[in-house]
Structure 1
Amino acid sequence: MPKQFMKRYLPTPDRVRSIQALHFLGDILHEPNLWHINRHCVARAILIGIFFCLIPMPFQMVAAAFCAIWFNANLPLSVVLVWISNPLTMPPLFYFNYKVGAWLLDRPVMHFQFELSWGWISESLVEIGIPLYFGSLIVATLASCLCYLFIQYLWRRRVRAHWRERQLRRCQREG
């Protein structure tokens, strides 16, 4: 895993602790596992970040941060991964989730024109919302679990490769 890459771009614990808006959290930010870059913390952070980026809800970063704190995952990575669903990627991601939900619920896929009005939202909420959220939960669960397992696999593979390299160097020095 590119540990040095992550260390370079993720904020340091001291920098996050210095943010005045986060002082209401108190000593929670002093938990070392929230800042560690190891296999378990990173894999949990990826699971949390991918899950919440695929759920259509406001304040995704807040939910990801609270889950990262609850499950001792890497906090900055959990929050950063939520930005996979940004204003450019949300429409295709959520439309895919809607289609999966409609398919699983055996409902026809509605062709609709989005309007930003309370009337349209209240009329379409049940027809579109149920398949959207059901599909989002299924896709988010599957994608986050697969990413978790993939990161665990990559991390272990990298560690084994480093062990083999060190063993080869040791054998060359001795022999």
Structure 2
Amino acid sequence: MRKSLERFLPKREQILKSRCLGRFTHLLHQHELWHFHRRSLAGGLALGLFVGSMPLIGHIPLALIGALWLRVNIPVAMGAVMLTNPLTMPAYLYFAFRLGLHIRSWLGFAPESSVAMPLTDLIHNWQLLFTDGGQRIWDAYLTIWLGSLLIGVLAAVAGYYLSLLIWRLVVTWRWRYRHRS
């Protein structure tokens, strides 16, 4: 599994020779940031899934900073961030908005009904978003953040433990296969 992952990812030497890193290259020389072992891989996946689910700009720099801080695998964190890309983001934001609406109504501070208006009404009356001094935009943004936070935490926990389980199954299968012969 490790060899197939290493085949598709850029080599450490190629990244470290990049001129865009400038003075920060010395931070990337630590071996555990590039080595594929089970905890580093699982941590990188969890970090990438969490950062990738947040509705903000600059996922890749945040994932890089988080990987340096948590000492997890950088290529895996970068790859997991790419799961939410410009093609999947509209559907993801819609799902996060709907989930955020359910969370807000469950917690008891549901937004005004005009924030959750049907999409067709919103397209035809887009100026309604900008009334009330931006309160509707703020409500919609808070709703998306709540939904994204829950999705990110669940995806990170599921990705972490699922990758540890898959790693364990592959190692066990290889060990049994090797001792069978």
Identity value in percent: 25
Does the Cα contact within 8 Å between 1:13 and 1:35 map onto a contact in 2? yes
Q: State the Cα RMSD in Å.
A: 2.0
CA-to-aligned-CA distance 1:106-162 (integer Å, 9 cap, x gap):
0363334466xx958945322201111011111100111101100000000111111
Instruction: Give structure 2 stretches of 5+ with no counterpart.
Output: none
| 1:11 aligned counterpart, secondary structure | coil
2:173 alignment partner in structure 1: 161
1:137 alignment partner in structure 2: 149
Does the Cα contact within 8 Å between 1:43 and 1:151 map onto a contact in 2? yes
Does the Cα contact within 8 Å between 2:32 and 2:73 map onto a contact in 1? yes
CA drift at 1:72: 1.2
Normalising by structure 1, we get a TM-score of 0.87
Mapped to 2, the partners of 1:66 and 1:100 lie a distance apart of 28
Does the Cα contact within 8 Å between 2:130 and 2:137 map onto a contact in 1? no
In the TM superposition, structure 1's runs of 4+ consecutive aligned residues that sit over 4 Å from their partners are: 118-121
Instruction: Give structure 1 stretches of 5+ with no counterpart.
Output: 170-175
Does the Cα contact within 8 Å between 1:17 and 1:23 map onto a contact in 2? no
Mapped to 1, the partners of 2:103 and 2:130 lie a distance apart of 27
Normalising by structure 2, we get a TM-score of 0.84
Within the candidate set 110, 119, 129, 2:117 is matched to: 110
Which amino acid in the other structure matches residue 102 of structure 1?
Answer: L
1:3 alignment partner in structure 2: 2
